[in-house]
Structure 1
Amino acid sequence: MTLVRWNPWTEIDALQRQFDRMFDTTTSSFPVALRDLNNAVKFPAAELTQADEALHLKLEVPGMEPNDLDIEVTENMVSIRGERKEESQTEENGKTHSEFHYGQFHRVIPLPSRIENTNVTAEYKDGILHLTLPKTTAEKNKVVKIKLDEATA
């Protein structure tokens, strides 16, 4: 039987190599994940509600001017493009802190009902864009007939 002398440094070196491999695999995909997170932040939140006469769409686009938004409406979808240009600067105790955020976004929202895209109204207030999308006459009067089987009744 051979006697092997234990060297704690070989164990530490093996552990170091494992950590290096682990961080090499996570950091190689990290910039892609960070880029995706950055795009998610630029994506405006939306809320679509449906009434009898119209659809109501609210989009959260704070810090933007109305002329920074490009809104296109078809009978079955709404497309919104914009570009954020936001800067903030604060001064405290003789130190200036400045931040800026720039970026473009594009969001397409499919609509559950056909609308009259020529009669859409829009209002922009306090960073919230409100769109009122009136339904077409055919959609307003749409009646769906349900047939019940006698076995299930």
Structure 2
Amino acid sequence: MTLVKSNNMTPVFNRLFDDFFNNDWADWGLRNFSGEGSTLPKVNIKEDDNGYTVEMAAPGMKKEDFNVNLDKQVLTISAEAKEEKEEKKANYSRKEFNYQSFQRSFSLPETADDEKISAQYKDGILNIYIPKKEEAKPKPAKTIAIA
């Protein structure tokens, strides 16, 4: 019988290495990026028989801050918001500013009807509706007559 000294840290390092290259933040193509000091908004994607709904939580923004584009079946949502405040009093002056930007991209399935996409921003939520093509919608069952 031979004793073998084992290194229990190897699986931890392997997992750390795998996680580094498999996470979205390692997306070197910058398809999903966020400005320094900000975070990517959370997104819910729902599917029903008629289409897909993308809900993005972005409170405090205005609809004018958003840009939604579709190019080669890739839906890209980006936003940029700037805020400046300046206060001057007799014995002091204060100037504050904030800058926030993000971009998220999603590949649309072939069943999406890219000619009828609509978007609205209400109560801090950006909703994008992507209908399905007619041929992709489920068809009701039908009875076939026997001749």
TM-score with structure 1 length normalisation?
0.53
Q: CA RMSD in A?
A: 3.3
Instruction: Give ranges in structure 2 of 5+ residues lacking alignment.
Output: 1-32, 87-92, 140-147
- How far apart are 1:104 and its partner, in Å? 2.2
Alpha-carbon spacing, 1:52–1:97, altered in 2? closer, same or farther (3 Å)? farther
Alpha-carbon spacing, 1:126–1:86, altered in 2? closer, same or farther (3 Å)? farther
Please state whether the residue corresponding to 1:79 is helix, strand or coil: strand
Aligned residue for 1:138? 135
Give 1 or 2 for the bigger CA radius of gyration.
1
**2:132 corresponds to which letter in structure 1?**
K
Please state whether the residue corresponding to 1:118 is helix, strand or coil: coil
Q: 2:75 aligns with which of 73, 78, 82?
A: 78
Provide the C-alpha distance between the structure 1 equivalents of 2:137 and 2:37, rounded to a whole number of angstroms: 35
Size of the alignment, in residue pairs?
A: 103
Q: Is the 8 A contact 1:46 1:59 kept in 2?
A: yes
Q: Is the 8 A contact 1:120 1:132 kept in 2?
A: yes
Aligned residue for 1:42? 39
Instruction: Give ranges in structure 1 of 5+ residues lacking alignment.
Output: 1-35, 90-95, 143-153
**2:54 corresponds to which letter in structure 1?**
L
**2:127 corresponds to which letter in structure 1?**
H
Aligned residue for 2:10? none
Aligned residue for 2:118? 121
Q: Segments of 4+ in structure 1 off by > 6 A?
A: none
Determine which structure has greater relative contact order: mean sequence separation of CA pairs < 8 Å that are 6+ residues apart, divided by chain length: 2
- How far apart are 1:118 and its partner, in Å? 1.7
Q: Which has the higher helix share?
A: 1
| 1:39-84 deviation per Cα after TM superposition (whole angstroms, max 9, x unaligned) | 4833221110000001011011222221221101357432011102
Pairing 1:110–2:123 present: no
**1:105 corresponds to which letter in structure 2?**
F
Please state whether the residue corresponding to 1:70 is helix, strand or coil: strand
**Aligned counterparts, 1:81-96, within 5 A:** 81-86=78-83
Q: Percent identity?
A: 29
Q: 1:62 aligns with which of 59, 63, 67?
A: 59
Structure 1 stretch displaced more, 51-60 or 39-48:
39-48
